[in-house]
Structure 1
Amino acid sequence: MNSESCAYVDESMRVGAGLYVLASAIVPSHRADMYRTALRALLLSKQPRLHWRDEKPKHRLEIVHALAEPPLEVVAVVGTDMPSSKQKRARRKCMDRLYWRLSQLRLHHVVMERRGPTNDREDLDMVNALRARNVLPDEMRVEWCDPLSEELLWLPDILAGVIASAAAGEVDLMAALGADLVIDRLRCD
């Protein structure tokens, strides 16, 4: 297992465009505090956290430029053709693929953004199903955290937002990101 890095995971949806994005930022332990400091420095006055959907275009560009060095390692899944009534199905399909990718990297630890007790329970059920199918090794620890207590969860939120924008045709921010990207695309219809 790669105990030197942790994957931080969050989602972005563009229901009208039929897109569901699940993104992970792979953060080496020796860079974690550097990223936390850089992320906190990007907060605007009285802002408790960075949240992509709440950021203005100018601040989004500043965020992306600030995170371009050193380049992030990103693994993401873009679900396309998602019917608005099938968001849970799209999440499960994307989780299946993302966790398979993360297991190939031999990561030891995954942190997902907390989404509330019911949704977190559904995610845990999915993780357990992946373990039962031997997609996830038993040694991989998966936990759920609040983005107000773990700044590194802001990274996948940002990445998912940038990737969703690019999938919808807005590629400028993706080009500025300069990340090491692995992006799988799959149909979620």
Structure 2
Amino acid sequence: MRVGAGLYVLAAAVVPNHQAGTYRAALRALLLPRQPRLHWRDEKPKRRLEIVYALAELSLDVIAVVGTDMPSTKQKRARRKCMDRLYWRLAQRRVPHVIMEGRGQAGNKEDLDMVNALRAQNMLPDEMRVEWADPLCDELLWLPDILAGVIAAAATGETALLGLLEEGVIVDRLRCD
């Protein structure tokens, strides 16, 4: 989220099961000594470039939604709109299992309510499994965080990093005002 720029960004990395171990190992290899996880906001520009170069080697399959024109008081609404579009994209791709980064008990409940509402509207297949996990327990959750950072930067004019990943990236933009 970039409140000052009126942006809300959600990203998903679609990782085939047979490649999950390779992706996890590549991400762990990027950790600095005593660094528990990769987190975009904690990285300096030179390090961000190093991380994106490494991710470009993975041939990522990325789906992202950029909510624009988000009033600072409408962050929950922006998240719901972006989640709606992201889940629609994932359902179109027949993604069978989604792991979301946990946001605490209250945040996870809000997200679960959204998932249940989408299921009730037949916009999310019943067979799509959705769960929440801690990024300290699964390196794959570092990918959406990094990708959202790259895409948010591109949305505010810093396009160089996204250019390194462009080939496998789908970005939908929608207004959240």
Give the TM-score taking structure 1 as reference length. Answer: 0.92
8 Å contact kept, 1:80–1:185: yes
8 Å contact kept, 1:21–1:78: yes
Higher strand share: 1
8 Å contact kept, 1:68–1:179: no
Per-residue deviation at 1:182?
1.1
Aligned to 2:34: 46
Letter in 1 for 2:23: Y
Per-residue deviation at 1:179?
4.1
Per-residue deviation at 1:45?
1.4
Aligned to 1:73: 61
Shift of the 80–178 alpha-carbon distance from structure 1 to 2, 3 Å rule, reads closer
Matched, 1:139 2:127: yes
Aligned to 2:140: 152
User: Where do 4+ consecutive residues of structure 1 move more than 3 Å?
Assistant: none
Aligned to 1:126: 114
Aligned residues: 177
Shift of the 34–179 alpha-carbon distance from structure 1 to 2, 3 Å rule, reads farther
Higher helix share: 2
Stretches of structure 1 lacking an aligned partner (at least 5 in a row):
1-12
Give the TM-score taking structure 2 as reference length. Answer: 0.98
8 Å contact kept, 1:64–1:173: yes
8 Å contact kept, 2:65–2:172: yes
Q: Alpha carbon RMSD of aligned pairs, Å?
A: 0.7
Stretches of structure 2 lacking an aligned partner (at least 5 in a row):
none
Counterpart of 2:165 (choices 172, 177, 186) is 177
Aligned to 2:97: 109
Matched-pair identity in %: 75
